[in-house]
Each structure stands twice: as structure tokens, then as C-alpha cells.
Amino acid sequence: MIIVISGPSGVGKSSIIKELSVNKDLYFCVSSTTRPIRSNEVEGIDYKYIDNDQFKSMIDQDLFIEYEEYGNYLYGTSKEELLKQKEFKSIILDLEVNGALHILQRYTDSYGIFVDISDELIVERLKHRGDNDDDFINTRLSLASKQREHMDSFDYVIINKEINITVKKITDIIYNDIL
């Protein structure tokens, strides 16, 4: 079973998945990215950090099930990571909306959960992460608006007002509706 968690940047997807990952029958698929590592992230847990040449080589070798350019960086889910779903009840993917839609259309055993928050909270969280450039923030808000146009393509939509409540709702969805 594949569970795709998606939504605009800054809505708390990583925090939600970190909490969900304590369940031993769920596996968080570690995506690859060309984005620099942040101070609070760990190589191989948050992402596999690789350079542009490595990423493009993986594309050329058809090693990704999906990949996207987002915020001038490349992000992708490797076929190797997806194979790990055989070892767990479910695998969780943290994907940008386009990548999520690709997976949801391609795999019949997949479920999509769209997570969202208000634009005001997105701005607050982006600034908290150190993204203070107004052009960058406005670009992310514009992208968030476009991503919300695809909410109906997901099986579930959750508004992340409080992380613990959101994690509980998603856990209930996974164990009561999906598995």
C-alpha cells in the first residue's frame, strides 16, 4: 500500500511524517534531492542529498518512478526506495502535488492525503525555516494556490491546525480506512 502525503510547502508534511514514522509497519520513503541540506535535517533520513549530475544520471538510467523540479531544485522518488514497500504494511511518500498525482494515477494501491494550512501560516513557517525573501515567499504562495486546485484528486484533505491532532487524524485514516 502506498500513502502519498502532499500539499504546499510549509504545511507540515515533514513533521507529520516524522511522527507517523514511529509506527514500525509504516516506512517513510526517502526521496533524493539536489537541495542543500538544512541544519535540522539528516542525510538518509530526511532526504538523500545528491548533486545535479548524480540526479541527471539517475534520470538517464530510469531509476526514478517520479521526479520534479521544485524551487530550482530536483526531487525524486527512486524505484529502489519504492521496493521497500514489500517489507512493510505501507510506504509513505512525501511528494509535491505533481509527483503525487503521477503516483496516484499510476499505482492502484495508492491513497492520497492532501495537507493544507492558511497562507498566513505558510508565510510564518517559511520565515521560521529561514526563507525570508519576499519574491520566494510570493512564488510559494502562488504555487500553493495552484496546488490547491488539485485537492479534489486526493482521497483525503486535512487542514493542519495543530500537529498532534493532524497526526491522529492521519493515523486514524491509515489504520481505519486504508489498511
When pLDDT is averaged across residues 19-23 and rounded to a whole number, the result is 88
Whether pTM > 0.85 for this model: the answer is: yes
Judged against a pLDDT cut of 90, whether residue 40 lies above it is answered with: no
Could you give all domains of the chain from N- to C-terminal order, each with its CATH number? 2-178 (3.40.50.300)
pLDDT band at 133 (very low <50, low <70, confident <90, very high): confident
In this predicted structure, what is the pLDDT of residue 106? 92
| Range name among 13-17, 103-107, 127-131 with the lowest pLDDT average | 127-131
Q: Three-state SS string across the chain, please?
A: CEEEEECCCCCCHHHHHHHHCCCCCEEECCCEECCCCCCCCCECCCEEECCHHHHHHHHHCCCEEEEEEECCEEEEEEHHHHHHHHHCCEEEEEECHHHHHHHHHHCCCEEEEEEECCHHHHHHHHHHCCCCCHHHHHHHHHHHHHHHCCHHHCCEEEECCCHHHHHHHHHHHHHHHHC
- pLDDT tens digits, 61-90: 999 999 988 878 999 999 999 888 888 889
Q: Which residue has the higher pLDDT, 179 or 103?
A: 103
CB 163 within 8 A of CB 15: yes
User: Which pLDDT score, from 0 to 100, does residue 96 have?
Assistant: 87
Distance of alpha carbon 58 from alpha carbon 7, whole angstroms: 25
